[in-house]
A and B are shown apart, each in its own frame.
Chain A
Amino acid sequence: MNPLCLVLHRWGRVGDLHAMDIVVCVKQIPDPADPGELDSETNTLKRDMKLIMDESDSYGVEMALQLRDAAGEGEVTLVSMAPHEEVNGLRSALAMGADKAILVSDEALAGTDALGTARVLAAAIGRTQADLILAATESSDGYTGTVPEQVAELLGLPSVTFAKEIQADGGEVLVKRQTEAGYDEVRCPLPAVVSVTAGVVEPRYPSFKGIMAAKSKPMDQVGIADLDVSLEQVGWAGGGQEITDVSPAPEREAGEIITDEGDAHERIIALLEELRIV
């Protein structure tokens, strides 16, 4: 990015220090209600059906809309890397109220692992001027859970993961971060990456008007050549990991099934006694 642009961008906000430009990472995935299968040739998920917005990302989208609206000014930009120029899930998020989207789609990206995905997302985010970058703590299909932190490191930004609440406070965010014991309150200067947990906010349903408006919102489609990412770092070759085995997990057998006739608790207690729990 031209440094002058950055200066001008910041300059433009002197009058309103609270405007918030937010990027939300939105992964488009096969419908979890329709579980996919592993491609026996490549040992990866088959992805030939229509993709939808990962429900985990709908929380980030909602959070971004709320923060933008509270700031009174700013834009919510979606960033997604997906095969076959898929825009279905992005349209859902635009229909909720996001302003525009950047889609990275390129055949060379097939087989990209989490680090490669983070490189692509970071490069795409670099095309925007975001104060805050939101992602989910983990996706529903891959659930690697490392992408947000990898994006932050690639961009040289601070980050707060496992956010269960975010408040904007001038040039900072105040985040409640889930911990083993409870939660930490973390203060983080912007720009920053924050990953949110499911359930932080109640994602809105798109209105009919929103759905219609989504069709004409800007959708910037880019390929790998448009981004500052080397081909060696993405795709099958970029992974640096090799699948050595795929096998069915051993099944657990069903045991005794009884129907409660008012005395099932006695059978449960008998089992607990047998196991020396009581």
Chain B
Amino acid sequence: MGRSIDEAKKGSAEIVILAIVEHESHHGYEIAKLIERRTEGGLRFTLASLYATLYRLEDRGWIKGRWVEKPGLRRRCHYRITEAGRRVLADQRADWARFFAALGQVAGVKPA
């Protein structure tokens, strides 16, 4: 594992977002709410960091944003995972699985 802790954290943020949009597209606010709900408040993005992450993922081609307009509503950008994103997510999942397995063995930590 050559990655620093920060990078690990950053990586964790990315994997969380990829996971949220894996099956359904969501706009930014939904993504934030879903993360909050699914982590029961354990993981929170600031506004700036959420969108910074989303744009980074999009630039890498892992997610794709699409503007959706609905009558009477402000238009919103819905994000959805791309094929490249799925491969990265799968890789990361495997990585994290191995990481948690190691942690479990060494420190008795179980993945959530």
A and B physically associate: no
Give the B-binding residues of A (Cβ under 8 A). Answer: none
